[in-house]
């Protein structure tokens, strides 16, 4: 019997959307430097470089990070070059978040799927590698009417580690109240972060293979999911045989 099902967020609970990362930081920088396009461009470029460096570190060492650290890293780079620093400001963050809203909408199949799994007695959770604050993600899930269907949500911005580090998966397993990893299923869109990480701690893993993951974010890994589904609504039939 499956004790719990834990989902990735971006690219799994939300369909993949290709976004312009520089434009998101430009929205942030435009708030800081209204009417000063060169300063905004410099700040946006520094913020993007800082974010990409943090994600590279997460990919290579699995160290988690937060938005505050991205801004601090960019500030240090700009300060060293003699340019104004981009402060961590809530109004600028709001502009950045608004840019990203297009990529935050929950797949319409999620609500009915979670209802089926709950009726079967499975605990439900989310585990996502993210630099965003937890309340952003949970606001989006609440907006789409599914937050209350989860027993627990774990965001790496609240942890020391990102996926595929075992401590991230162990934190999610504990958060949903599960005790036996072999009776917990992880559903995600990335072979390295999601499938290899889940299987390394003894979980079963289901791949949703539709995300257009950029080449620099891919890590070759010799691992096979326990199942591959084309739609989230296919998951109950797969789990019925487990």
**Domain CATH for 218:** 3.40.50.1000
Contact call for residues 218 and 192 (beta carbons, < 8 A): yes
Q: Could you give the CA distance from residue 36 to residue 45 in angstroms, rounded to a whole number?
A: 14
Say what the pLDDT of residue 218 is.
Answer: 81
Q: What is the average pLDDT score of the chain?
A: 96
Rounded to whole angstroms, the Cα distance separating 60 from 102 reads 28
Sheet with 227-228: list strands edge to edge.
Answer: 152-155, 123-128, 4-7, 184-188, 204-207, 227-228
> Which of 55, 72, 102 corresponds to the end of one domain?
102
- The residue among 82, 102, 122 that closes a domain is 102
Sequence-distant (≥ 6) Cβ neighbours of residue 89 within 8 angstroms: 31, 32
113/184 same-domain check: yes
Measure CA of the first residue to CA of the last residue in the chain; give whole Å.
7
Q: How far apart are the C-alpha atoms of 122 and 102, rounded to whole Å?
A: 30
Q: Which domain holds residue 54?
A: 21-102
Q: Do 131 and 213 fall into the same domain?
A: yes
In this structure, the answer to whether residues 66 and 143 fall within a common structural domain is: no
Q: Both 113 and 180 in a single domain? A: yes
Say yes or no: 87 and 122 in one domain: no
Same domain, 86 and 125: no
Q: Residues 74-79: contacts with CB within 8 Å, 24+ apart?
A: 74/43, 74/46, 74/47, 74/49, 74/50, 77/46, 77/49, 77/50, 78/42, 78/43, 78/46
Residues 187 and 154 in one domain: yes
The last residue of one of the domains, among 102, 128, 145, is 102
| pLDDT digit string, tens, across residues 81-139 | 888 888 889 999 999 999 999 999 999 999 999 999 999 999 999 999 999 999 999 99
28 and 94 fall within a common domain: yes
**216 and 188 both lie in a single domain:** yes
- Asked if 188 contacts 89 with a C-beta cutoff of 8 angstroms, the reply is no
Confidence of residue 14 (pLDDT cuts 50, 70, 90): very high
- CA 72 – CA 33 distance, rounded (Å): 17
Residues 98 and 115 in one domain: no
Phi and psi at 52, nearest 5°, equal -65, -35
Task: Assess whether 230 and 218 both reside in one domain.
Answer: yes
Q: Number of structural domains, the chain?
A: 2
Residues 194, 85 share a domain: no
- Whole-model pTM: value is 0.95
pLDDT confidence band for 1 (50 / 70 / 90): confident
Among 31-45, 172-186, 216-230, which is the least confidently predicted range? 216-230
């Amino acid at each position: 019997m499956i004790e719990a099902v834990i989902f990735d967020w971006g690219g799994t609970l939300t369909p993949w959307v290709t976004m312009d990362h520089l434009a998101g930081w430009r929205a942030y920088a435009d708030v800081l430097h209204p009417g000063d396009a060169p300063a905004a461009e410099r700040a946006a470029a520094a913020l993007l470089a800082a974010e990409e460096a943090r994600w590279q570190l997460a990919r290579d060492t699995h160290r988690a990070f937060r938005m505050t650290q991205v801004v601090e890293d960019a500030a240090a780079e700009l300060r060293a070059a003699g340019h104004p620093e981009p402060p961590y400001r809530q109004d600028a963050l709001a502009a950045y978040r608004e840019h990203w809203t297009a990529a935050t909408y929950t797949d319409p199949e999620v609500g009915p799927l979670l209802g089926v799994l709950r009726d079967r007695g499975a605990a439900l959770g989310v585990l996502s590698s993210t630099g965003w604050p937890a309340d952003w993600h949970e606001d989006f899930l609440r907006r789409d009417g599914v937050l209350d269907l989860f027993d627990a949500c774990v965001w790496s911005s609240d942890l020391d580690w990102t996926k595929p580090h075992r401590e991230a998966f162990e934190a999610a397993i504990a958060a949903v109240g599960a005790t036996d990893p072999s009776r917990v299923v992880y559903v995600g869109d990335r072979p390295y972060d999601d499938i290899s990480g889940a299987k390394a701690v003894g979980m079963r893993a289901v791949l949703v293979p539709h995300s257009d993951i950029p080449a620099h974010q891919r890590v070759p890994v010799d691992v096979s999911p326990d199942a591959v589904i084309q739609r989230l609504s296919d998951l109950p039939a797969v789990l019925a045989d487990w």
